[in-house]
Amino acid sequence: PPPLRTSSSLPAVAVFFGTSTGNTEDVASLICAAYGCAGPFPIDEHEGSLADDFSKYDGLIVGTPTWNTGADSERSGTAWDELYYGEMGKLELGGKHVAVFGLGDSEGYAANYADASGELFEVFEKRGAVMFGGTDADGSYVHTASKAQRGGRFVGLMCDQMNQEELSEGRVDKWVKELKAKGFGEGGEAPAGEAAPAAAEPAAEKPAAAKPAPAPAAAAAGGGRIKGWTAYRSDEKRSTMYVNPENGREAYYVQDK
């Protein structure tokens, strides 16, 4: 029989976050409470070697707000920005499990919602980390565009303390449960489609080759559902997005007639 798991064999997980006005810290605290993990540790107060600190944990949950609207890089407005292109440039994180969360203002900055979370994701991914924690950009989100989104998926957990504070706790609880169920911090590969790769093409330009592949024309005619695909209807955009449940990345957008 498999060995009984004792508390000492539970993976060590910690939360690290950047913040300017405290919102990311609030969500970091919710995550720590829900997870029962170490932290949350403010990255701006970090001293000594980041490599040493990260090496203490099997899983890292890392979070950032988004500032610097419109910039291509160093979008967090926190100590992360300097670390990304400084100390983290040499960090070896091969095989380390990492999950990203991010804060933004999905109404005030609807076209740049939580952009900096995409950058955080890419920096860790480039260091060889195994990325966990992708989520559906479902109908509860009101933004129009985000660099943290690939197709119908966010690269991590996105929250909005400015407009949707009441949703954060539920989003966190669900996400934490998913991370644990998927073996976060326990070594090994991430489940397929967990978090979309940084190089993913814009979803709308994907060829209709994936299975179960609906012909976009058939989708338009069917007006509502495509078997096997998840539909996200937007009244505002007068269109329906269909997300491939097999990988959570491919999506079609069908405009109302």
- Token pair belonging to 75: 């979008």
Q: Which is nearer to ligand FMN, 39 or 214 (CB)?
A: 39
Tokens 């299975």 sit at which residue?
Answer: 211
Q: Based on CB atoms, which residue is closest to ligand FMN, 115 or 125?
A: 115
Among 39, 40, 59, 104, binds ligand FMN (CB under 6 A): 104
Q: Cβ closer to ligand FMN: 19 or 244?
A: 19
- Rounded Cα distance between 80 and 18, Å, is 7
Tell whether residue 19 is a contact of ligand FMN (CB under 6 A). yes
Cα–Cα dist 114/124, whole Å: 17
Distance in Å, CB of 75 to ligand FMN, minimum: 7
Interface with ligand FMN, residue 91, by CB under 6 A: no
Q: Least Å distance between CB 233 and ligand FMN?
A: 23
Q: Does the CA dihedral 148-152-158-164 come out positive or negative?
A: positive
Q: How many residues bind ligand FMN (CB under 6 A)?
A: 20
Q: Residue 65: is the preceding peptide bond cis (ω within 30°)?
A: no
Amino acid at 142: V
Q: Which of 20, 230, 234, 247 binds ligand FMN (CB under 6 A)?
A: 20
**β-pair type (59-64, 97-103):** parallel
Residue 65 in contact with ligand FMN, rule: CB under 6 A: yes
Whole-angstrom Cα Rg for the chain: 19
- At closest approach, how far in Å is the CB of 252 from ligand FMN? 26
Tokens of residue 223, six digits: 């007006």
Least separation in angstroms between CB 122 and ligand FMN: 16
Alpha carbons 190 and 192: distance in angstroms, whole number: 6
Question: Would you tell me which residues interact with ligand FMN (CB under 6 A)?
Answer: 19-24, 65-67, 69, 103-105, 109, 112-115, 161-162
